[in-house]
Amino acid sequence: MAIQRRKFIQSGIAGLSLLGFSNLGLKIPSKGPSNKPSNKPIVISTWDFGVPANLAAWDILKMGGRALDAVEQGVKIPEADLKNSTVGKGGYPDRDGHVTLDACIMDELGNCGSVAALENITHAISVARMVMEKTPHVMLVGEGALQFALTNGFEKENLLTPESEKAWREWLKEKKYSPIINIENLSNDPNRLPGNQYNHDTIGMLALDESGNLSGACTTSGMAFKMHGRVGDSPIIGAGLYVDNEIGAATSTGVGEEVIRTVGSFLVVELMRQGHSPEVACKLAVERIIAKKPETAKEIQVGFLALNKNGEYGAYALQKGFTFAVCDAEKQDLLIDGKSIY
């Protein structure tokens, strides 16, 4: 009788498997990425300006360096680029004329550091790393973040360049805020009119090193002409960036408020944990934004970029025009047009 009962239970479980756990409201246990050979080292980052940033990161990765060092050095390139109006020094100010920077960094051990509304320091990403390594905290903001940076040897400087100040003064004439989709690439157009760029963006970078460890970094000067004190998703662990060394890493770009509402980067990593590829995970996260605010989603840009433990990568965005850069042993300047819903 016991043997017959055991056979019945076993056949019942097999039947449930054929029907699919999802149909019963159950979730299949997490499997993570496949066991295919890893594409490592590799570094990926958001937007066209990710290409030179990746090259700086690659200098570290190709020598067997740590992913954490690579992503920090990589994103420092756009932070110091005066022609880039969306990251670091030269970024467009808030509506009161202050250039405020946000950044975060996360390593393979789950350690993370962040700064928000930081003024007068070019390399916000390095301050974020120092918060991670020298304090018991995750995030420092405003005057506290500046005080910490100065105490630890960073030099105070004016981040408002003449070009950015001119754009701000042009904006003051109308004081009209209207986000422009994909300004990240449009802002590199030498024919753009000063003051007509009202959006912002970030560089998000993810790397897998020779040892198979993941790290990520995200840094921005924030939304142009934002309210003083506004902070988007970029310095928020789980929103603008998330790393889980067992599964993968993700970063986001676009209008940060909508990314925060969905805890977007964490969501992408958890979707990869469920067995989805990086691209599909990014697409599902974008669809979550649409589901929450369908009308808003048609007027803004949000994109996600992901890298799993095997070095497989993917991206998806709301709107066309989102690009991302890839650098590995085969090609160091690959630029890919990300897929989009609209």
Q: What is the SS3 assignment for the chain? A: CHHHHHHHHHHHHHHHHHHCHHHHCCCCCCCCCCCCCCCCCEEEEECCCHHHHHHHHHHHHCCCCCHHHHHHHHHHHHHHCCCCCCCCCCCCCCCCCCCCEEEEEECCCCCEEEEEEECCCCCHHHHHHHHHHHCCCCEEEHHHHHHHHHHCCCCCCCCCCHHHHHHHHHHHHHCCCCCCCCHHHHCCCCCCCCCCCCCCCEEEEEEECCCCCEEEEEEECCCCCCCCCCCCCCCCECCCEEEECCCEEEEEEECHHHHHHHCHHHHHHHHHHCCCCHHHHHHHHHHHHHHHCHHHHCCCCEEEEEEECCCCEEEEECCCCCEEEEEECCCCCEEEECEECC
Clarify whether 202 is annotated catalytic. Answer: yes
100, 122, 202, 253: the active-site residue: 202
Residues classed as catalytic: 202
